[in-house]
Amino acid sequence: GKMTHDAKMTYRIGLLPGDGIGKDVITEARKVVETAASSFGFSVEWREFPYGAEHYLNTGEILPDEALEEMQQCCALLQGAIGDPRVPPGVLERGILLKTRFYFDQYVNLRPASTYPNVPTPLKRGEDMDIVVVRENTEDLYVGLGFLSNEEIEATVDMKRPSYTLKGALSLKVDPSMKFAAQLALATEMGVRRITRYACNLARRRKASEIVLATKSNAVKELYGLWEEIAKEETSKEGISLKLVNVDALCYQLARDPSGYGVILCPNLFGDIVSDLLAGLTGGLGLSPSANIGDGLSMFEPVHGSAPDIAGTGRANPLAAILSASLMLEHLTQVEASEAVKNAVLEYLRAFPRQRHPMELGGEATTSEVGDSVASIIQR
């Protein structure tokens, strides 16, 4: 995907605006990235992909493998939001979002949760938070090995992933004849090792010497026991100390006193929960970006949903998408551009009058005016 024209780097970025406000916020993220590109001397070529509810309802197609192969020609993907009340819940989430994460083996789901200037938090102790959840993104209950049956489950298990294949068989029977469901949660040595290593590197970049790992091995022994074992090995190799905490106690602590937390490493499902909780405890989903990072193609997306009720009205807050674009630029090693975008968001929230803030944050600015404001700061 990278090319140089006249000594100028060009990045081909795959855009998946998706549904509802996804389209609105992606327009602004794109605007801001283009501004950053011209300020920092690189250029961007956009390749738009139509997948989402509209495309599915019109064609029956969710996300074909050919599209995923085409995406390989991009340097990164930038997503808006997926989901529509006309489509049964889960179909697009699994068929687009999770499929992309798994296909490209995007094993890191990075979810920064920070407080922002002039953005209230629900907590009384409004101290600065600057936490990053490093969520494993390819294993756990998310592997999709679920089985539903009356009385008896007989299934073969077959899961091909870029880094390993799992094969097997499952046979389960419940003595009274009744429906039951069984779902396999998985953790592999490699899966835990690579995400722990990522968390250690991130801790070092943040000049931290410790990471916190959320597990639940007191109740779920083997799965989270493996997590603890491998994470201990890996952190000690990396010279980072590891603090183990049960996920329930962690959520309790984050609600009571989030100060002191930095890098929080989580298995997939706990990462989903803890990162949303932290989004709630900081600036909200309107300011929560995320990155799905792998050794191949990576994907960047705001954590918020498609909010179809306000789509196209100008009420959507594009800051989470813009902050996701900043994470993307960092990943593309355009570190200065990435920082300029992030600092522009901070400066905008710090210095622009409340009235010019997003409506979601109590201001009066439309989605596109917010994008313009952030872009104008980058251009200064």
Ligand X SMILES: CC(C)[C@H](C(=O)O)[C@@H](O)C(=O)O
For the segment 210-229, give every residue that binds a second copy (CB under 8 A).
216-223, 225-226
At its nearest, how many Å lie between ligand X and the CB of residue 9? 30
Task: Work out the angle at residue 322's Cα, subtended by the Cα atoms of residues 108 and 298, and round it to the nearest 5 degrees.
Answer: 30
Residue 261 or 352: which CB sits closer to a second copy?
Answer: 261
* Per-residue x/- track, 79-118, a second copy (CB under 8 A): ----------xx--xx---x--------------------
Question: Taking phi first (over 0 means left), then psi (-120 to 50 degrees means alpha), and beta for anything else, what does residue 157 get?
Answer: beta
At its nearest, how many Å lie between a second copy and the CB of residue 199? 19
Q: Does 181 bind a second copy (CB under 8 A)?
A: yes
Choose the one of a second copy, ligand X, none that binds residue 208, judging by a C-beta under 5 to 8 angstroms depending on kind.
Answer: none
Q: Does 208 bind a second copy (CB under 8 A)?
A: no
Q: In one letter, which amino acid is 96?
A: I
Choose the one of ligand X, a second copy, none that binds residue 321, judging by a C-beta under 5 to 8 angstroms depending on kind.
Answer: none
Q: Looking at beta carbons, which pairs linking 363-369 to residues 24 or more positions away fall under 8 Å? A: 366/314, 366/315, 367/21, 367/24, 367/25, 367/27, 367/28, 367/314, 367/315, 367/316, 367/317, 367/318, 368/27, 368/28, 368/314
State the DSSP H helix or E strand holding residue 327, giving kind and residue range, or none if neither.
helix 319-331
Residue 9 or 316: which CB sits closer to ligand X?
Answer: 316
State the DSSP H helix or E strand holding residue 156, giving kind and residue range, or none if neither.
strand 152-160
Burial class of residue 267 (count of CB atoms within 10 Å of its CB; 0-12, 13-18, 19+): buried
Residue 86 or 173: which CB sits closer to a second copy?
Answer: 173
Choose the one of ligand X, a second copy, none that binds residue 310, judging by a C-beta under 5 to 8 angstroms depending on kind.
Answer: none
At its nearest, how many Å lie between a second copy and the CB of residue 116? 15
Residue 98 or 174: which CB sits closer to ligand X?
Answer: 98
Residue 23 or 31: which CB sits closer to ligand X?
Answer: 23
Furthest C-alpha separation in the chain = 73
At its nearest, how many Å lie between a second copy and the CB of residue 140? 9
Question: For residue 291, which phi and psi values (nearest 5 degrees)?
Answer: -130, 135
Q: In one letter, which amino acid is 79?
A: Q
For the segment 233-262, give every residue that binds a second copy (CB under 8 A).
247-249, 251-257
For the segment 145-174, give every residue that binds a second copy (CB under 8 A).
146-148, 153, 157, 163-174
In this structure, the chain runs to a length of 380
Tokens standing for 209?
A: 């010497």
CA gyration radius for the chain?
A: 21
Q: Tell which one of 28, 105, 136, 272 touches a second copy (CB under 8 A).
A: 272
Residue 103 or 348: which CB sits closer to ligand X?
Answer: 103
Residue 255 or 335: which CB sits closer to a second copy?
Answer: 255
Closest C-alpha to 198, from 111, 114, 273: 111
Residue 43 or 246: which CB sits closer to a second copy?
Answer: 246
Burial class of residue 21 (count of CB atoms within 10 Å of its CB; 0-12, 13-18, 19+): buried
- Tell me the number of residues near a second copy by CB under 8 A: 77
Query: Which residues in this chain contact ligand X in the complex, by CB under 6 A?
Result: 93, 97-98, 218-219, 248, 272
Choose the one of a second copy, ligand X, none that binds residue 296, judging by a C-beta under 5 to 8 angstroms depending on kind.
Answer: none
Choose the one of ligand X, a second copy, none that binds residue 171, judging by a C-beta under 5 to 8 angstroms depending on kind.
Answer: a second copy
308, HSE (Cβ side, Cα atoms, 13 Å) = 11
At its nearest, how many Å lie between ligand X and the CB of residue 25? 15
Residue 7 or 181: which CB sits closer to a second copy?
Answer: 181
